[in-house]
Amino acid sequence: MIEGNIEQKLVEALQPIRYHVLASEIYHLFNTGIYDQLIESEHSVSSLATALNLDERKLYGFLKYLANEGIVEFIDQIVRPTQKCQQISEFRGWYTLMIGGYAKTYLQVGETLKLGSEWLERDGKQVGVGSCEMSKFDAIPLVRSLMSNIPKDCQYFLDIGCGEGLFMIDFCRAFPDLQAWGIEPDKDAYLAAVEAVQQAGLEDRIVMTNASALELLESPFETEPDFLVVSFVLQEILGQEGEEGVIKFLTGILERFPELYIIVIEVEDRIDQKKIMSHNMALAYYNAYYLLHYVTNQRLEKQEFWEQIFEKCQLEVKAKDFVDQNVDSTELTFCYLLHRK
Ligand SMILES: C[S@@+](CC[C@H](N)C(=O)[O-])C[C@H]1O[C@@H](n2cnc3c(N)ncnc32)[C@H](O)[C@@H]1O
């Protein structure tokens, strides 16, 4: 029997359950459009239910739950997101990816540990969308920084595994002469990208194709690309097709476009290194991120592994960078600019 104050120990033991539910409900707050509606105009529970066609009683319980966790507040029947919630909203991409994309996956980890079990599935659309939402903090600044090392004018680029396409939209807005071709094999993520490109009014500069990286090699090209981006995607090809698949893709694209610059972004697997895994950012994000790569068909690797692959493909590392220290000081996410030797 447990000795001493049982309630205190029980409350401590229940904290992971509290945060498990809280993360899911914060995801729903964003994903249902409730947050955006509350930011846009003043609402009572009843007017919010009408505006979004929601069940008023269920919505009442949902919002009261969030109020008790300090995520929304009620003042004179009006419900508003708290400042804490508005701050979290800046980082909603992490909720889209980890909860929208992988919450169901995490619930099946027990099953997949069995010998001979299949890889677990995920929600491909939410993975693509979430990763894109996160990219304004990691991938976009990284690629912008490495692009400045390309010694020519860039007018056309390929984004392989482009998810929701935010990356191409951001670049085409920033560089008015730039055009892009986005390749995305997940049907729902591809459709989300088509819609995002249309909403941005960039259909005349961004073309989308529903295909994988290796399928792209079979496609006809109308224009020669100046550079290609594979952002958190080589890990996917490595899981699906093995090392040969990654080499086939890189050498295949270089055979067609020998002067192509290639920008690779990856995350290094250091799940076994105690010191880095005690870093607050590693515990808040990378530990769970690593776990999902062990149970889905994706494979993270160390930097040396990727450098050996580049060597085998006759690719030279022209520049290398890490995510801004102010965002993530672990140096676990890195980026290479590559060109044929
Ligand atoms: C983690 S998301 C990254 C999305 C985006 N590149 C970014 O940086 O935000 C990985 C993307 O790669 C796509 N993908 C998976 N397998 C692929 C393959 N064989 N070829 C190209 N893309 C692939 C997925 O559908 C998903 O959209």
pTM: 0.94
Protein residue with least CA distance to atom 8, ligand 1: 231
The amino acid present at 341, given as its one-letter code, is K
Residue 80 binned pLDDT confidence (cut-offs 50, 70, 90)? very high
Calculate the CA dihedral of residues 154, 224, 218, 313 and round it to 10 degrees: -60
| Residue closest to 176 by CA, chosen among 152, 198, 202 | 202
196, 166 contact by CB (below 8 A): yes
Residue 213 binned pLDDT confidence (cut-offs 50, 70, 90)? very high
pLDDT in tens, 279-299: 999 999 999 999 999 999 999
pLDDT of residue 203: 97
| Residue closest to 135 by CA, chosen among 109, 167, 97, 111 | 167
Is the model's pLDDT at 20 over the cut of 90? Answer: yes
Where are the chain's structural domains?
6-90, 104-340
* CATH architecture designation of domain 6-90: Orthogonal Bundle (1.10)
Average of per-residue pLDDT across 83-103: 98
pLDDT of residue 223: 87
pLDDT of residue 2: 81
Average of per-residue pLDDT across 22-33: 98
pLDDT of residue 1: 78
pLDDT top residue among 221 and 131: 131
Question: How high does pLDDT run on average in the chain?
Answer: 96
**Cα 121 to the chain's mean position, in Å?**
16
142, 321 contact by CB (below 8 A): yes
Is the model's pLDDT at 67 over the cut of 90? Answer: yes
105, 122 contact by CB (below 8 A): yes
pLDDT of residue 222: 82
Q: Which atom of ligand 1 is nearest to the CA of 124?
A: 25
Homologous superfamily of 104-340: Vaccinia Virus protein VP39 (3.40.50.150)
269, 287 contact by CB (below 8 A): no
Ligand 1 pocket, residue 170 CB under 6 Å: no
Residue 227 binned pLDDT confidence (cut-offs 50, 70, 90)? very high
Ligand 1 pocket, mutate which of 233, 235, 265 (most atoms under 8 A from CB): 233
Ligand 1 pocket, residue 126 CB under 6 Å: no
How many whole angstroms from 161 Cα to the centroid of ligand 1? 3
